[in-house]
Amino acid sequence: MADDKPDVARLVDEAAKAIGLPIAPEYRANVILNYERSLMIARPLLEVELDDELTPGPVFRP
């Protein structure tokens, strides 16, 4: 399944471009490292299955 592994460096470069966030070359490696860390930490959440009826908790009161 090695092919399923995202190309985080490319993802970071393209997403940063898309949202207009310049990332200087000296910051880039660490941004990629932190993105990879987030992918790892997020895993237990992403594996959870939620019912469609489960809406978020916050309530906006106009």
Residues that bind other proteins (CB under 8 A): 11-12, 15-16, 19-24, 27, 30-35, 37-38, 41-48, 50, 54-58
Torsion sign (Cα): 25, 7, 17, 41: negative
- Give least dist CB 10 to other proteins, A: 12
CA dihedral 41→43→46→50, nearest 10 degrees, is -90
3 or 20: CB nearest other proteins: 20
- Give least dist CB 7 to other proteins, A: 13
Rounded distance between C-alpha atoms, residue 57 and residue 4, angstroms: 33
- Give least dist CB 12 to other proteins, A: 6
